[in-house]
Structures are given as C-alpha cells and as structure tokens.
Amino acid sequence: MVMDVVVVIPAYNLQGIIGRVVSVAKRHADVIVGVDVKTKDRTAEEAARAGAYVVKDAGNGKGAVLRKLFAVALEKKYKYIISMDGDYQDKPEELPNFISEVQRADIVSGSRYLARVSRLNLFGMINAIFIKTNKVNVIGNILLFFIINFFSSGFKFKSWITDTQSGYRAYRREVLAALLPHLCSEKYEIESEMLFFASRLGYKIKEIPKHVDIERRGARLIDGLRIGKYMLKLWLKYLYTQPTIK
C-alpha cells in the first residue's frame, strides 16, 4: 500500500458491494467513503468494517459528496487523490495503474473506450460508444462527448478526451487543490465541471484504459441535455475571462 495515496468513493445505497470495493482498494491505498445523505441502507457500516474512513451525510448528490471527500483528503495531506465509483464499475484492481501514472501527470482519467481506440478519432469514438454503452443511451453519450470537449477545449482536438463521464480519476494534490475552489456542482455534472476547469487552468489530462461491463447504463439523452446546459452556463461565464488558481 502506498501511504501517500488515498481513494475517495462517493456512495449511495451500496450495501452488499461497498465492502468488497473497499477491501480491494485498501490493498493499494487508504480509503475514504462519503455516504450520501439520502442513503437508506447500511453502506456506512459495511464500508467501515472493511477498513474505510467513513464520512456520513457527506452531501446530497454525487457532486456534493465528492467535493466533501476532496476537501477531507486535502486536509489529511495526501499527495495523490484517486476518485472512483463504488458500484464495482470502476475496478479497484486497476488502482496500481492510476497510482503509477499520476506520478508523471497532472490528472489521470480512466476511459472505457481506450480498449477499442488507441487515440481519439471521431469515427472510432462513435463506434466505441455503440459497443461499450447500453444502446438506449448511445445518443446521450455521443452528445456529451462533443459538448463537454468543445466547451472545455474548443477546437484544440488534441486536448479532447474519449470518456468525459469517467469517475475514475487520479489527481496530484496541488492540482486538486487548485480545482476544488471552482467546483459548485451538486450532482453528476461534477465530472464535466472538473474537465472544464482543468483545461482552463492549463492542466494536462492523461487517459488510460479502464475495464467496465459492456452494457453500462451510460448517459440518457436527458442527462446529456442537463449536463450540456450546465456546461453552456460555464462556457458563457468564462467566455471573455479565465479562471485563476486561488
């Protein structure tokens, strides 16, 4: 286990699975689990038994919980912070890959698509989305791919990333400390918001493959529209100005 690395996991009604995720993650790093205020089961107790430091009532929504977990991790002086989902779509067995790569990058982001495309190209990406996403939600994922990359990086296509909705990411401490004051999202917009500010603050994102179930639910069309609206507001707010490191 690398003592200066922590894994932060937002959790909502994950009894029966969170213990397994924490147990595997603990082989590689410390673990902090943030439990959503609306959780009705024994997620907190199961995570604690598996060895996690648990933050109860961490927030209402994934964005709120993650912002709380990031603040706790920074307060505890960890050098590297890795976020991941707690439903085993993000495999804790792959943590060593993130730990290794983040020591040479600003941000490392896992991509479910890189197993099919070695680099970003539009036709390859659309094909990969069809393969790796529940067919009902393909349109939402394609919409998010274009909206988030454009609002974050404009026409700098080399800065576009393949998996804009990945929750499996690793950050150097100083990078996360610079991003956190800008984050306001309460819900699932948090991943997109972080990409936006990372790009605007000049941080480089390295993608590595992550392996997920083929029929992952993915983003619905309504999710794409909601997140797109949020990103449009951010883009307009910073159309003529740049965010600064606080």
Q: What is the mean pLDDT of the chain?
A: 87
Q: What CA–CA distance (Å, rounded) separates 111 from 162?
A: 7
Q: What CA–CA distance (Å, rounded) separates 9 from 4?
A: 17
The per-residue pLDDT for 240 is: 83
In the chain, the number of structural domains is: 2
The per-residue pLDDT for 167 is: 93
The per-residue pLDDT for 79 is: 97
Indicate if 37 and 137 belong to the same structural domain.
no
Please report where in the chains the tokens 């990945």 appear, as a residue: 166
Residue ranges of the chain whose pLDDT lies below 70: 1-3, 115-140, 214-221
The per-residue pLDDT for 12 is: 95
Q: Name the helix (H) or strand (E) containing 59.
A: strand 53-59
Domain assignment of residue 205, yes or no: yes
Q: What percent of the chain has pLDDT over 70?
A: 84
The per-residue pLDDT for 144 is: 81
Question: What are the beta bridge partners of residue 5?
Answer: 80
Name, in order, each residue with C-beta under 8 angstroms of 10's C-beta and a sequence gap of 6 or more: 34, 36, 58, 62, 65, 66, 69, 83, 85, 86
β-pairing verdict for 80-83 and 169-172? antiparallel
Q: Name the helix (H) or strand (E) containing 30.
A: strand 30-36
**34: its two tokens:** 């943030």
Range(s) of the domain holding residue 152? 105-166+185-246
The model carries a pTM of: 0.89
Q: In this structure, are residues 168 and 109 in contact, taking their beta carbons and an 8 Å threshold? A: yes
Q: What CA–CA distance (Å, rounded) separates 161 from 206?
A: 8
Indicate if 115 and 214 belong to the same structural domain.
yes
Indicate if 122 and 82 belong to the same structural domain.
no
Question: What does the radius of gyration of the chain's CA atoms come to, in whole angstroms?
Answer: 17
The per-residue pLDDT for 118 is: 52
The per-residue pLDDT for 115 is: 63
Please report, for residues 48, 171, 179, the alpha-carbon distance to residue 34 in angstroms, rounded to integers and kept in the order given.
11, 18, 19
How do residues 198-210 score in pLDDT, each as one tens digit? 999 999 999 999 9
The per-residue pLDDT for 221 is: 62
Indicate if 80 and 110 belong to the same structural domain.
no
